[in-house]
A and B are shown apart, each in its own frame.
Chain A
Amino acid sequence: MLLATATVQRSAATREPTWLRWLLIGGALAFLGFFLVLPLLSVFAEALRKGWALYWQALVEPDALSALRLTLLVTAVALPLNLVFGVAAAWAIAKFDFKGKSLLITLIDLPFSVSPVVAGLVYVLLFGAQGWFGPWLMAHDIKIIFAIPGIVLATVFITFPFIARELIPLMEAQGTEEEQAAMVLGASGWQMFWRVTLPNIKWGLLYGVILCNARAMGEFGAVSVVSGHIRGLTNTTPLHVEILYNEYNFVAAFACASILALLALLTLAAKTWVEWQAERQRALDARMAMDE
């Protein structure tokens, strides 16, 4: 998915007439305008409906801050977990051939299309007081659901495939020659990984991390089932938005939503930067290859 956005210079024969070009651009922009830009703008418009002072007040309210802290904390825990998994899974799947590979890939992808409601429900079935491990957990006074671990688990589940998904095609495309060369030259497994594999996949990895991060911060449905909604303790920002909305506190609700949107935009900016860096790197590599 890493791609260069620079347009390729084309000869007249493979270009569309100007009117058509503008028609297509107009169509695309109209579609994106109605489905993307307007909803985004409406979030900010609602948030600022009663002025900046109220907007700011809604953001620094203690419950809003604790919700944001929890959201960032959960993301900070879920991300490394899926990062390690993503690299391990991609290594096994992309660099080796074994039976049952497509089944494994399908299972890794599965959380992507599981309804968030169901994603939350399964953890309740597992760790809830009436669930499989519930009585044991209760007896040992370990809290999983309706506490931070449950929220982390639900988030991990929802963002499970993203990093692996990003790395598998990339590592498949790169093949195994470089790693084999490193091994032949006497590198240890870890040396090979740190010096050869990681530098090769770093941009794809970063892109996966960014996608995973974006999704983790915004997850609502699954987290809602396992959170317990204790104000100031187990409310993430998306849940806090719902609560404020249900309090008819629309300005504060949209203010918190706008923070999530801003985080999303920051994430997207980071993504664009990553793509740009990757592009530069590729151009650099290409030039070096030509120099040789």
Chain B
Amino acid sequence: MAELTNPVPDAALRLPMQRVDHPSAPSRAGMMQFKQASVLPGFNLALGYTVVYLSLIVLLPLSALVLKTTSLSWSAFWQVVTADQVMAAYRLTFGASLLAAVINLFAGLLVAWVLVRYEFVGKRLIDALVDLPFALPTAVAGIALTTLYAPNGLIGEWLVPLGIQVAFKPLGIVVALTFIGLPFVVRTVQPVLQDLEAELEEAAACLGASRWQTFRKVIFPATVPALLTGFTLAFARAVGEYGSVIFIAGNIPFESEIVPLLIIGKLEQYDYAGATAIATVMLVISFGLIFLINLIQWWHTRRHGMRK
């Protein structure tokens, strides 16, 4: 995901001859100003298909969601999405997601570092396992984590004497969301650490930098964009999570009730408009987050491109 390099070269500039061979090229370039000319075929087909498919599978259903919300007046909408209980749920959902993403930021960097730099028994296996949260059904993950972290569970019973209760508390939500977001930071940082040239570190060492200084001044800055991307991905994924959280959270209003559960609660009252109102708010936030990721990647690409 992070292996972005030079932007697409301007094909027309490189192969001016092609324009003569392909009489359709200049006219198309003139017709569709939003696209730079290229000799490669299939743009219209590929983009057309992409847009149609995207519209059918994603945009049409999501617009149904937004339109359903418009059955509420603006003030009613505002009242629904800013009710105390809903605000508490936003705080919890975003707070727990943020905390989980921060844990994953550090743990993910550590895991990626260990996997790239060191040799130890079972490394391949561990490397493969990192993607597990991605593939395991979330409900199963939720049940398994609850089994472990409940006060009478394998891990929970060690934590209770310390006064820490995980399952059925907000902390449980953080555990579930950490599990869900685990692959993202690891998988975005791994290739960057891999590609980091050894010469840079050697040069730093030659110039008298300590290992810690090298890490802080050379290695860490190079991984920042990937870390940010992974962090935001983990965060975005956590915000919408339902299946695993529902088992491990206590679901107590104002304490451990996440936003998706509130949406379900609205549906139980057949309040579709209210449910879609909250869903729309979550959608807009998701869109913002993903847009942010793409900006980070774009910024990364430019930097990367300029360095070369």
Q: Does A156 reach chain B (CB closer than 8 Å)? A: yes
Bound CA span A2–B113, Å? 16
Bound CA span A285–B54, Å? 36
Partner of B58, one of A110, A118, A125, A184: A110
Q: Are B202 and A14 in contact (CB under 8 A)?
A: yes
Q: Are B11 and A24 in contact (CB under 8 A)?
A: no
Q: Which A residues from 163 to 210 make CB contacts under 8 A with B?
A: 165-166, 169-170, 172-173, 175-177, 179-180, 183-184, 189, 192-193
Q: Are B1 and A1 in contact (CB under 8 A)?
A: yes
Q: Does A61 reach chain B (CB closer than 8 Å)? A: no
Q: Does A29 reach chain B (CB closer than 8 Å)? A: yes
Bound CA span A35–B110, Å? 14
Partner of A268, one of B10, B129, B260, B272: B129
Q: Are B61 and A5 in contact (CB under 8 A)?
A: no
Q: Does B252 reach chain A (CB closer than 8 Å)? A: no
Main secondary structure of the interface of B (DSSP, over half): helix
Q: Does A70 reach chain B (CB closer than 8 Å)? A: no
Q: Which residues of A contact B283 (CB under 8 A)?
A: 110, 114, 118
Q: Are A107 and B58 in contact (CB under 8 A)?
A: yes
Bound CA span A147–B111, Å? 42
Q: Which B residues from 194 to 211 make CB contacts under 8 A with A?
A: 194, 198, 201-202, 205-206, 211
Q: Which residues of A contact B198 (CB under 8 A)?
A: 8, 10-11, 14
A35-64 interface mask toward B, CB cutoff 8 Å, 1 = contact, 0 = none?
111111011001000000000000000000
B1-22 interface mask toward A, CB cutoff 8 Å, 1 = contact, 0 = none?
1111111111100110010000
In this complex, the interface size class of chain A, counting residues with CB under 8 Å from chain B, is: 35 or more
In this complex, the interface size class of chain B, counting residues with CB under 8 Å from chain A, is: 35 or more
Interface centre among A4, A36, A211 (most CB of B within 10 A): A36
Q: Which 10 A-B pairs have the closest CB atoms?
A: A115-B240, A264-B135, A214-B135, A13-B205, A122-B61, A113-B236, A189-B41, A98-B35, A218-B137, A99-B34
**Seed contacts A32-B130, A117-B279; 19 additional CB < 8 Å A-B pairs:** A5-B124, A7-B118, A28-B111, A29-B114, A36-B130, A97-B7, A98-B34, A98-B36, A104-B51, A107-B59, A115-B263, A121-B276, A122-B65, A169-B2, A173-B4, A218-B136, A221-B138, A257-B144, A268-B132
Residues of B within 8 A of A (CB): 1-11, 14-15, 18, 32, 34-36, 38-43, 45-47, 49-51, 53-54, 57-62, 64-65, 68, 107, 110-111, 113-120, 123-124, 126-141, 143-145, 147-148, 154-155, 175, 178-179, 182, 187, 190-191, 194, 198, 201-202, 205-206, 211, 214, 233, 236-237, 239-243, 259-260, 263-264, 267, 272, 275-276, 279, 282-283, 286-287, 289-291, 293-295, 298
